[in-house]
């Protein structure tokens, strides 16, 4: 094959791929927006679980003369550690989800480039 034939074949392949490539790009953008929404929902649910646990533990252990349990009981220690971990994880998910929503093009390009490596 000479150079003109190769260029002609490459032009034909490029013309065939340009339509699917545009559709793939639109799908990647929508996928990144979906990731962002999913991260925001997961982060909000985690914060809701922590808030519910805090409210439940305050109400369930409160009596007329004060709390029925010592603040250093295992329940409070384990619950506090789990709550701190969940809050940190939820904040990370909310930040990640916000970034996916604010610039889905960047993350779509990053995903495509990651597949090319």
How many domains does the chain fold into?
A: 1
Q: Are 108 and 114 in contact (CB under 8 A)?
A: no
In this predicted model, what pLDDT tens digit does every residue of 71-85 receive, in sequence order?
556 677 788 888 999
pTM of the model: 0.72
Q: What is the pLDDT of residues 52-68, one digit of tens each?
A: 988 877 766 665 566 56
**Whether 46 contacts 104, CB under 8 Å:** no
Domain coverage including residue 107 = 3-116
Tell me the C-alpha distance between 16 and 60, whole Å.
66
Task: Give which of 111, 109, 104 is closest to 34, Cα–Cα.
Answer: 104
């Amino acid at each position: 094959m000479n150079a003109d034939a190769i260029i002609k074949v490459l032009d034909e392949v490029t013309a065939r791929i340009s339509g699917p490539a545009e559709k793939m790009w639109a799908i990647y953008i929508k996928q990144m927006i979906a990731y962002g929404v999913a991260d925001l929902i997961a982060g909000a649910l985690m914060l809701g679980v922590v808030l519910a646990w805090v409210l439940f533990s305050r109400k369930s252990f409160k009596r007329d003369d004060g709390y029925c349990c010592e603040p250093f009981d295992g329940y409070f220690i384990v619950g506090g550690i789990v709550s701190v971990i969940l809050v940190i994880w939820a904040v990370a998910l909310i930040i990640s989800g916000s970034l996916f929503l604010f610039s889905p093009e960047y993350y779509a390009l990053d995903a495509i480039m990651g597949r090319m490596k």
